[in-house]
Structure 1
């Protein structure tokens, strides 16, 4: 019987996958909140739209996904989590090349959703 990825004895890879999912959720919230706050209220643009936040987020997502999903792919020999997550990271990279606004937010949200699916598939793969 396999151990639940949410148990206290979860492996480091499982914890990285969980962290990656949490980061993706925070990223999606940041994107939606930025569009709403900056568009609707005209506040926080200097901080919420700072390119450094997006670059750091993508770098962190790349590292976590590379380690967790790459490690998982080596263990369970399934390509789907890796391919889906890398597709998501590609969308996120495309968002960095887009001007701030709706297009960037849509690309990022698609990307983080795909990366999350990759992490979920990685968590559910047999060890």
Structure 2
């Protein structure tokens, strides 16, 4: 009888979550590449952008979008593959955070790999819904 009604913005976020997450993945890639270049050129500025809080907040946001978008996809179309691919990307991103932030590039490379896989999961999810 009583139906739960989402506020309008929640419906909009749910219907656009995959596209927002893909955009966020792109921003993450830009951040990672910019940080690596700045770190190589300017130690002080690069060090500011490589602060752990950026990575922790970014990963938290990515996990939130993953839960909303990929979880909605499982309910909507019933396919687990997009969520599995996206979860693997999130796992690689989380693992990259454990690597040293010493400018060697290992953390950046693994983060970019994880972001790319996560974006693929969101793209698969978006295509399955449409």
Give 2:16's aligned residue.
15
Give 2:50's aligned residue.
49
RMSD (Å), alpha carbons:
1.6
Task: Work out which of the two has the higher radius of gyration on C-alpha atoms and give 1 or 2.
Answer: 2
Assess if the C-alpha contact under 8 Å between 1:21 and 1:119 holds in 2: yes
Deviations 1:2-59 (A, max 9, x none): xxxxxxxx95433111110011000011111111111133341332011000000000
Residues 1:110 and 2:113 aligned together = yes
The TM-score normalised by the length of structure 2 is 0.84
| In 1, Cα distance between equivalents of 2:116 and 2:74 | 19
| In 2, Cα distance between equivalents of 1:36 and 1:126 | 38
Q: Which runs of 5+ in 1 are unaligned?
A: 1-9
Worse-matched range after superposition: 72-81 or 83-92: 72-81
The TM-score normalised by the length of structure 1 is 0.86
SS for the counterpart of 2:125 is: helix
Give 2:8's aligned residue.
none
Assess if the C-alpha contact under 8 Å between 2:96 and 2:110 holds in 1: yes
| In 2, Cα distance between equivalents of 1:26 and 1:126 | 24
Give 2:81's aligned residue.
80
